[in-house]
Amino acid sequence: MTTLNPAILNPTQLVLEINQETIDQAWKQSQSAGNDSSKWQKYLNQVALATLLSWLQAEEAATAKAGVEAATQAEIWEVV
């Protein structure tokens, strides 16, 4: 017997697909972090930003961008 995920049927829940290129790029970029915990945190933050920003640009505003420049993001992702 299979059960359905209620998030799929509830239109108030946003479900975003994360593409493999985003995953691979975030993983490579996260390897510069100082320790395993920081690498994981940096990876998750990069995936979340890239996925949400892509959705915002497609659905809401094509000009949407992160409030922090990419060079600065790389420095802060470990601790956010």
Round to whole Å and give the CA distance between 22 and 73: 16
Cβ(40)–Cβ(48) below 8 Å: no
Mean pLDDT, to the nearest integer, of 4-20? 76
Percent of the chain predicted with pLDDT > 90: 39
Q: What pLDDT is recorded for position 23?
A: 96
Mean pLDDT of the chain: 83
Reported pTM: 0.73
- 62 alpha-carbon distance from chain centroid: 18
Identify whether 29 is part of a domain.
yes
The per-residue pLDDT for 3 is 64
Residue 32 covered by a domain = yes
Q: How many domains does the chain have?
A: 1
Reported as a single tens digit per residue, the pLDDT across 40-75 is 999 999 999 999 989 999 988 888 787 777 667 767
C-alpha dihedral sign at 52, 53, 54, 60: positive
Q: Domain limits at 57?
A: 17-76
Both tokens of residue 15?
């479900």
